């Protein structure tokens, strides 16, 4: 057992899996000597050599498209797209190609490909670097969407992703990369997909989130507790598969719910959460479900970021209002 932050947990997971499985390789921009712009692949080039840790040309579509071909050849690629917002330049290779290849070949081929992509706001990065576009991929059946929020899950979910025979989009909360350390086992373990985590139990309201918004909800829950409102926090962990059972169970218990995400409000995955609860937890609800999300405007420059993103204050206000209805 070691204390690790998220970036160290990710690095450890890839390193261990490359030792265990000679088919695993890493490719992307700057993943070699630099170790990635966030250093997630730091040291892997020296440990595993230039055939397995490969700096590619700056071209997202071919990073993903070549990963598909590499997988069919028998390799297990772990591709890095430097920022999730840059998947726009390769989207056609993710949704229409990678996600559908098993179906398009009627099962003759499958794509054991993991795409890692840092994302999210709060670090005043330049344009397109922070966009939380995870919901766009939910409309591409065939790919799994994984959103770790802490170092333990980051390692376990990444090992699960790399070993999954189907493609996985693994979105990393860059704001949390080095926020703190927690106990992360040195040994091999996986966190299964489609199992949401109830990371805090309360009686009055359920806060639902994934990725960096989980950290926000935890802080909001602390504040709410000081006000006498006890909150459950559910971390969905994966959007595809979507753990409806845990979600419905948690919301049924408190009767009230706030969904929090960094993506814009309209048609964000929060809409799916709310629609699902309306259908499956209708008679357990004591108040309308609230959503605290980014606004339906383009991701702004860093100086506007704090106004655009959901904040602890907004989550607390929404929870307070929902709890009192």
Interaction of residue 107 with other proteins, rule CB under 8 A: yes
- Least Å from the CB of residue 243 to other proteins: 8
92 among known catalytic residues: no
42, 123, 194, 267: which one contacts other proteins (CB under 8 A)? 194
CA distance 122 to 294: 12
Q: Which residues in 17-46 contact other proteins (CB under 8 A)?
A: 25
Q: What HEC string does 80-131 produce?
A: ECCCHHHHHHHHHHHHHHHCCHHHHCCCCCCCCCEEEEEECCCCCCCCCCCC
- Name the pairing type of β-strands 290-294 and 257-264: parallel
- Least Å from the CB of residue 289 to other proteins: 19
Instruction: Write down the residue that tokens 């706030």 correspond to.
Output: 258
20, 92, 178, 219: which one contacts other proteins (CB under 8 A)? 92
Q: Which residues in 124-153 contact other proteins (CB under 8 A)?
A: 141-142, 144
81, 240, 250, 293: which one contacts other proteins (CB under 8 A)? 240
- Name the pairing type of β-strands 205-209 and 182-184: unpaired
Question: Which two three-digit tokens encode residue 283?
Answer: 């008679």
38, 170, 242, 308: which one contacts other proteins (CB under 8 A)? 242
20, 33, 47, 104: which one contacts other proteins (CB under 8 A)? 104
Q: Note whether 235 and 284 are within 8 A (CB).
A: no
CA distance 45 to 49: 5
Nearer Cβ to other proteins (210/299): 210
Q: Which residues in 153-182 contact other proteins (CB under 8 A)?
A: 164-166
CA distance 271 to 264: 11
Total number of residues that touch other proteins (CB under 8 A)? 46
Interaction of residue 75 with other proteins, rule CB under 8 A: yes
**Part in contact with other proteins (CB under 8 A); list of ranges 108-116, 123-131, 219-227, 228-236:** 108-116
30, 65, 163, 287: which one contacts other proteins (CB under 8 A)? 65
CA distance 210 to 161: 17
Q: Which residues contact 95 (CB under 8 A, 6 or more apart)?
A: 136, 137, 139, 140, 143
Q: Would you say the C-alpha torsion 102, 238, 242, 270 has a positive or negative sign?
A: negative
- Least Å from the CB of residue 225 to other proteins: 33
Residues known to be catalytic: 129
Q: What residue ranges bind other proteins (CB under 8 A)?
A: 25, 51, 56-57, 59, 61-62, 64-75, 77, 92-93, 96-97, 101-110, 141-142, 144, 164-166, 194, 240-242, 244-245
């Amino acid at each position: 057992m070691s204390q690790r932050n998220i970036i160290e947990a990710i690095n450890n997971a890839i390193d261990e899996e490359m030792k265990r499985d000679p088919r695993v390789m890493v490719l992307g921009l700057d993943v070699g000597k630099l170790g990635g712009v966030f250093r997630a692949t730091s040291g892997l080039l020296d440990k595993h050599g230039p055939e397995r840790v490969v700096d590619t040309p700056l071209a997202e579509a071919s990073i993903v498209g070549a990963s598909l071909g590499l997988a069919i050849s028998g390799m297990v690629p772990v591709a890095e797209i430097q920022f999730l917002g840059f998947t726009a330049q390769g989207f056609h290779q993710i949704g229409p190609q990678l996600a559908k290849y098993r179906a398009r070949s009627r099962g003759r081929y499958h794509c054991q490909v993991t795409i890692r992509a840092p994302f999210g706001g709060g670090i005043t990065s330049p344009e397109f670097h922070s966009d939380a576009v995870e919901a766009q991929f939910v409309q591409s059946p065939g790919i799994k969407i994984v959103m770790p929020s802490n170092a333990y899950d980051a390692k376990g979910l990444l090992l699960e992703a790399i070993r999954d025979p189907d493609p996985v989009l693994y979105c990393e909360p860059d704001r949390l990369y080095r926020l703190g350390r927690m106990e992360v086992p040195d040994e091999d373990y996986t966190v299964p997909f489609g199992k949401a985590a109830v990371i805090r139990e309360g009686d009055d309201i359920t806060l639902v989130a994934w990725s960096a918004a989980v950290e926000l909800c935890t802080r909001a829950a602390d504040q709410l507790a000081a006000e006498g409102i006890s909150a459950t926090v559910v971390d969905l962990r994966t959007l595809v598969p979507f753990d409806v059972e845990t979600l419905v169970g948690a919301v049924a218990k408190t009767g009230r719910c706030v969904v929090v995400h960094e993506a814009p409000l309209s048609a964000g995955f929060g809409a799916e959460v709310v629609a699902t609860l309306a259908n499956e937890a209708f008679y357990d609800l004591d108040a309308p479900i609230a959503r605290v999300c980014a606004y339906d405007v383009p991701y702004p420059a860093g100086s506007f970021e704090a106004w655009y993103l959901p904040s602890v204050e907004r989550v607390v206000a929404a929870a307070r209002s929902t709890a009192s209805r």
